[in-house]
Amino acid sequence: MLRVALRGVRAHLVRFLLSTLAVMLGVAFVVGTFTFRAMLSSTFDEIIATTLVADVYVRGAEEIDATTSAGSSFGTPHAPVPVALADTVAGVDGVARAVPDASGPIVLVAADGTAVTTSGPPSIGIAVGPDEPTVTLASGAWPVGGTQIALEESAASAAGLTTGDATTVVLAGAPQPVTVTGVFAIEAAAAGTILVGLDPATALATYAPDGTVPTISVHAAGDVSEQVLADRVAEVLPEGAESLTGEAMRDEAREGVEQILGFIETFLLVFAAIALFVGAFIIANTFAMSVRERQREFALLRALGASPAQVFASILAQAVAVGLLGAAAGVVLGRVLVSGLRAAFGSTGMELSGRVPLSVTSVVVAISLGVLVSVVAAAVPGRHAALTPPVQAMHDDVAPDRGTGTRAVVGLVLTLVGAGLLVLASRLGSSASADPTGWALVDDLNPRVLLAVGASAALVGVLVLSPAIAGAVITVLAVPAVAAIRPLGRLARGNVTRSPRRTSNTAGALLIGMALVSATGVIAASTQASVRSIVDEQVRADYVVQAAAATGALPPGVTDAVTGLPAVGQALALRLGTLDVDGEPSGATVVPPGFFTEALDAPVVEGDPDRALADGEAVVSRTAARDEAWEVGDTLTLTSDDGARTQDVRVGAIIDTQVISSDVVLADATYASVGAPEIPTYAVYVTAAPGTTTAELRDALTEAVKPFLVVSVLDREELANAAAAQVDQVLVILYALLGLSIVIALLGIVNTLALSIIERTREIGLLRAVGLGRLQLAGIITIESVLTAVYGTVLGVITGIAIAAALPGVLAEQGLTSLAVPWGQVLAVLGLAVVIGLVASVWPGIRASRLPVLEAVTVD
Query: In 3-state terms, what secondary structure has residue 60?
Result: strand
Q: Is the pLDDT of residue 317 over 50?
A: yes
Instruction: Give yes or no for a contact between 23 and 374, defined as CB atoms under 8 angstroms apart.
Output: yes
550: Cβ contacts below 8 Å, ≥ 6 apart: 712, 722, 723, 726
- Note the pLDDT of residue 181: 93
CA distance 429 to 807: 9
Paired strand residues for 648: 637
- Note the pLDDT of residue 499: 82
CA distance 707 to 730: 31
- Note the pLDDT of residue 298: 72
Q: How far is CA 416 from CA 420, 432, 440, 754, in A?
A: 6, 24, 27, 35
- Note the pLDDT of residue 74: 58
- Note the pLDDT of residue 442: 45
H or E segment at 316?
Answer: helix 308-347
CA distance 416 to 408: 12
Average pLDDT, stretch 637-647?
81
Q: Is the pLDDT of residue 820 over 80?
A: yes
Instruction: Give yes or no for a contact between 859 and 765, defined as CB atoms under 8 angstroms apart.
Output: yes
- Note the pLDDT of residue 354: 57
- Note the pLDDT of residue 274: 73
Q: How far is CA 37 from CA 34, 362, 567, in A?
A: 5, 11, 51
Q: Is the pLDDT of residue 472 over 70?
A: yes
8-state DSSP, 115: B
CA distance 697 to 511: 52
CA distance 22 to 426: 36
Highest mean pLDDT among 435-449, 642-656, 682-696, 719-733: 682-696
Residue type, 50: T
Angle between helices 308-347 and 360-386 (to 10 degrees): 140
- Note the pLDDT of residue 2: 56
298-312, 616-630, 705-719: lowest mean pLDDT where? 298-312
CA distance 38 to 28: 15
Q: Is the pLDDT of residue 594 over 50?
A: yes
16 phi/psi in degrees, rounded to 5: -100, -10
Tell whether the torsion through CA atoms of 500, 321, 395 and 393 is positive or negative. negative
Reported confidence tier of residue 664, pLDDT bands at 50, 70, 90? very high
Query: In 3-state terms, what secondary structure has residue 549?
Result: coil
| Alpha helical stretches, state H, 348-446 | 360-386, 405-434, 439-444
Average pLDDT, stretch 453-459?
88
**Among 9, 31, 38, residue whose Cα is nearest residue 369:** 31
- CB-side exposure of 250: number of CA atoms within 13 Å? 17
> What are the tens digits of pLDDT across the range 357-390?
677 887 888 888 888 888 887 887 778 777 767 6
**Among 329, 328, 331, 369, residue whose Cα is nearest residue 31:** 331
Q: What is the DSSP string of 441-502?
A: HHHHS-HHHHHHHHHHHHHHHHHHHHHHHHHHHHHHHTHHHHHHSTTHHHHHHHHHHH-HHH
Q: Is the pLDDT of residue 578 over 80?
A: yes
> What are the tens digits of pLDDT across the range 706-747?
887 778 899 888 888 877 777 776 677 677 767 766 777 777
56-60, 223-227, 681-685, 755-759: lowest mean pLDDT where? 755-759
Instruction: Give yes or no for a contact between 660 and 627, defined as CB atoms under 8 angstroms apart.
Output: no
- Relative to beta strand 174-185, strand 148-152 is parallel
- Note the pLDDT of residue 391: 65
Residue type, 596: F
824: Cβ contacts below 8 Å, ≥ 6 apart: none
Torsion from C-alpha of 328, 330, 335, 340, nearest 10 degrees: 150
- Note the pLDDT of residue 439: 42
Q: Is the pLDDT of residue 557 over 90?
A: no
On the 0-12 / 13-18 / 19+ scale of CB atoms within 10 A, 507 is buried
Reported confidence tier of residue 77, pLDDT bands at 50, 70, 90? confident
Instruction: Give yes or no for a contact between 840 and 789, defined as CB atoms under 8 angstroms apart.
Output: yes
Average pLDDT, stretch 229-239?
90
> What are the tens digits of pLDDT across the range 168-207?
888 876 788 999 999 998 876 666 678 899 998 898 888 8
**Among 551, 556, 653, 639, residue whose Cα is nearest residue 595:** 653
Share of the chain above pLDDT 70, in %: 85
Q: Where are the domains of the chain?
A: 1-78+247-399, 79-246, 470-538+719-860, 543-714
More confident residue, 551 or 534: 534
253-262, 426-435, 469-478: lowest mean pLDDT where? 426-435
> What are the tens digits of pLDDT across the range 683-705?
999 999 998 999 999 999 999 88
| Angular region, 349: left φ>0, alpha ψ -120 to 50, beta rest | left
**Among 799, 762, 757, 803, residue whose Cα is nearest residue 780:** 757
**Among 453, 452, 448, 416, residue whose Cα is nearest residue 432:** 448
Other beta carbons within 10 Å of 49: 15
- Note the pLDDT of residue 701: 92
Instruction: Give yes or no for a contact between 639 and 646, defined as CB atoms under 8 angstroms apart.
Output: yes
- Note the pLDDT of residue 68: 46
More confident residue, 227 or 286: 227
CA distance 733 to 858: 52
Q: How far apart are the first and last CA of the chain?
A: 24
CA distance 770 to 841: 23
| Alpha helical stretches, state H, 673-806 | 694-705, 716-759, 761-769, 774-804
CA distance 377 to 276: 11
Q: What is the DSSP string of 34-54?
A: HHHHHHHHHHHHHHHHHH---
Average pLDDT, stretch 525-532?
82
On the 0-12 / 13-18 / 19+ scale of CB atoms within 10 A, 571 is buried
CA distance 487 to 491: 6
146-150, 430-434, 743-747: lowest mean pLDDT where? 430-434
303-307, 631-635, 665-669: lowest mean pLDDT where? 303-307
Reported confidence tier of residue 1, pLDDT bands at 50, 70, 90? low
CA distance 714 to 417: 46
- Note the pLDDT of residue 190: 60
- Note the pLDDT of residue 567: 92
**Among 176, 175, 174, residue whose Cα is nearest residue 148:** 176
Query: In 3-state terms, what secondary structure has residue 376?
Result: helix
Reported confidence tier of residue 441, pLDDT bands at 50, 70, 90? very low
Cα 809 vs. chain centroid, distance in angstroms?
22
CA distance 444 to 450: 11
188: Cβ contacts below 8 Å, ≥ 6 apart: 43, 46, 47, 49, 50, 51
- Note the pLDDT of residue 183: 92
Q: Is the pLDDT of residue 653 over 90?
A: yes
- Note the pLDDT of residue 13: 62
Average pLDDT, stretch 303-330?
83
- Note the pLDDT of residue 618: 92
Q: What is the DSSP string of 223-238?
A: T--HHHHHHHHHHHPP
CA distance 472 to 475: 5
Q: Is the pLDDT of residue 70 over 60?
A: no
Highest mean pLDDT among 22-26, 525-529, 565-569, 659-663: 565-569
Q: Is the pLDDT of residue 355 over 80?
A: no
131: Cβ contacts below 8 Å, ≥ 6 apart: 97, 99
8-state DSSP, 218: E
CA distance 851 to 781: 14
Query: In 3-state terms, what secondary structure has residue 707?
Result: helix
Instruction: Provide the mean pLDDT of the chain.
Output: 81
Q: Is the pLDDT of residue 76 over 80?
A: no
Tell whether the torsion through CA atoms of 756, 762, 763 and 769 is positive or negative. positive
- Note the pLDDT of residue 558: 86
More confident residue, 605 or 16: 605
- Note the pLDDT of residue 301: 73
Torsion from C-alpha of 838, 843, 848, 850, nearest 10 degrees: 130
Reported confidence tier of residue 356, pLDDT bands at 50, 70, 90? low
- Note the pLDDT of residue 437: 41
- Note the pLDDT of residue 12: 58
Residues constituting the chain:
860
